[in-house]
Amino acid sequence: MSSKKCFVHTLIIVVLFLIGDRTIFYVLKSGMDRYYGLNKPAKILCLGYSHTVLGIDAQRIEKELGAPVSKYATAGANTLDRLWMARHFLEQQPSVQVVVYDVDPRLFDTEGLSSASYTLFLPYIDDPVMAEYLRREATWQEYATSKIIHTARFRDQTINIALRGLMGKVENKKSARIRVEDYEGKMEQERARRIRVNPESRKCFLETVDFLVRRGITVVLVLIPTIDLLNDLDPTGQNAVLRTFLEVAEKNNNVYFFDYNQDYQHRHELFYDLRHLNESGNEVVTGRLIKDLRCRVQKPGFGRQGTGIKIQGCGS
C-alpha cells in the first residue's frame, strides 16, 4: 500500500472515530441532563449526594407542589463538588427559587471520601463553570484527554446515570429492608470512628449557602435520617455539627433547617442500610418534606398556575 493510500485510510479511521466518539457522547450527555434535570427550568432544586438520591423523590414533589423540580445529586459528591454543582445548575437554569440541600452529621468529615469525585463532572467539561472547576481539580492529563476524546469523560457511575436518564428511570429506590445483624462487624468499625470536621469542607458548605442566599434563593437544609445505631455512637460530635446548621438557619430568614432524624431514626423498617433510606423511607421523608415546603417555606410564584405554595391551613 502506498503512503498516500495509507494516509487516506488512516484519515478515514480517525474521522469515523471522532464522529462515533461525539455521537455517543452527546447521547450519553443528554441522558445525564435528563437524570439531573439540567434540561428544564426548575424552581426547586434538590442538591446533594446519595442521601438525596435514595431519600427524596423529586418527581413526587413536582407532582404534588405543581412546580418543576430537579434533583442534581450523585453518590460521592462532597461539599466542594456541591458548591460547583450549585453554580453549574444556576448558570444553566437561573429559574431556581428554592434549593433543598441535604445535610448530615458527617457532612464535613472527608475521611473515606474519594479524592477524585471531580471526575463525576467531566462530562460537563465544556460548560464554562465546570471547566473552571475541573481545571483546578483534574490532572492535566485527565483534562486534555477529556477535551480531545469526549467518551473518555465518562466513568462507570456516570454511564449508569446517563443510561438511567435515557430510560427515564430518574428515581432510584431500594426495596430491601436493613438486617441489623448483618452490620455487627461494620458497627465495630463505626465505633472506632469519631465525627471529624474538615475546616475546608465546612467553609465550602457556608460558601454555598451564602452564594445561594445572595441570589435571593431560599435554602432548605434537610437532615435525611440515618439509623439510630449510628447516631448513638458519637452524640457529642453529632450535636456540634448540627449546631452549625441551626446557627446558619437562625442567622438568615432565607434559610431553613429541617431535622428529620429524631422522628425517623428509630424506625429501622425505613432503612436500606445504616445511612440510606429504602423505598418506604423515601416515601415517608418525601411526604414530610412536601408538607414542610408547602407549610413553612414561603416562596411566591411556584405552584400550579403561578398561585404559589399555600402557607396557611397546614397541620403540624
Residue 294, pLDDT above cutoff 50: yes
For 125-151, give the DSSP string.
TTSHHHHHHHHHHS-HHHHHHHHH-GG
The model's pTM is: 0.89
| Rounded Cα distance, 222 and 262, in Å | 12
Query: What is the CATH code of the structural domain delimited by 3-168+176-306?
Result: 3.40.50.1110
Q: What is the C-alpha to C-alpha distance for residues 32 and 70, in angstroms, rounded to an integer? A: 12
State the Cα–Cα distance between residues 173 and 243, nearest whole angstrom. Answer: 30
Domain ranges of the chain: 3-168+176-306
CA distance linking residue 199 with residue 206, whole number of Å: 11
Residue 310 has pLDDT above 60, yes or no: no
Q: How far is CA 185 from CA 234, 268, 270, 274, 277, in A?
A: 18, 18, 21, 12, 20
Between 194 and 293, residue with greater pLDDT: 293
Q: Which residues fall within 8 angstroms of residue 158, CB to CB, at 6 or more apart?
A: 28, 32, 120, 122, 123
Per-residue pLDDT of 219-251, as tens digits, reads: 999 999 999 888 888 888 889 999 999 999 999
pLDDT at residue 298 is higher than 60:
no
**84-87 long-range contacts, CB within 8 A, separation 24+:** 84/121, 84/129, 84/130, 84/133, 85/47, 85/121, 86/45, 86/47, 86/208, 86/211, 86/212, 87/129, 87/211
Could you tell me where the DSSP H helices lie in 37-72? 50-55, 58-65
pLDDT at residue number 109? 84
Query: What pLDDT digit, counting tens, does each position of 166-223 carry?
Result: 998 888 888 888 887 777 777 777 777 778 889 999 999 999 999 999 999 999 999 9
Cα 67 to Cα 4, 180, 307: the distances in Å are 61, 38, 10
* Mean predicted lDDT score pLDDT of the chain: 87
CA atoms of 149 and 129, how far apart (whole Å): 20
Q: What is the pLDDT of residue 308?
A: 37
Per-residue pLDDT at 305: 37
User: 261 CB contacts (<8 Å, ≥6 apart)?
Assistant: 223, 225, 226, 231
CA 137 to chain centre: 19
Crossing angle for the helix pair 3-36 and 156-167, to the nearest 10 degrees: 70
Determine the pLDDT at residue 112: 59
Q: Is the pLDDT of residue 136 over 90?
A: yes
Instruction: Band the pLDDT of 113: cuts 50, 70, 90.
Output: low
pLDDT tens for 150-169 read 999 999 999 999 999 999 88
**Single-letter code of the amino acid located at 249:** A
pLDDT tier, 312 (very low <50, low <70, confident <90, very high otherwise): very low
Q: What is the pLDDT of residue 127?
A: 95
Q: Which segment, 57-61, 111-115, 180-184, is predicted with the most confidence on average?
A: 57-61
Cα(271)–Cα(51) distance, rounded to whole angstroms? 11
Selected residue with higher pLDDT from 295 and 243: 243
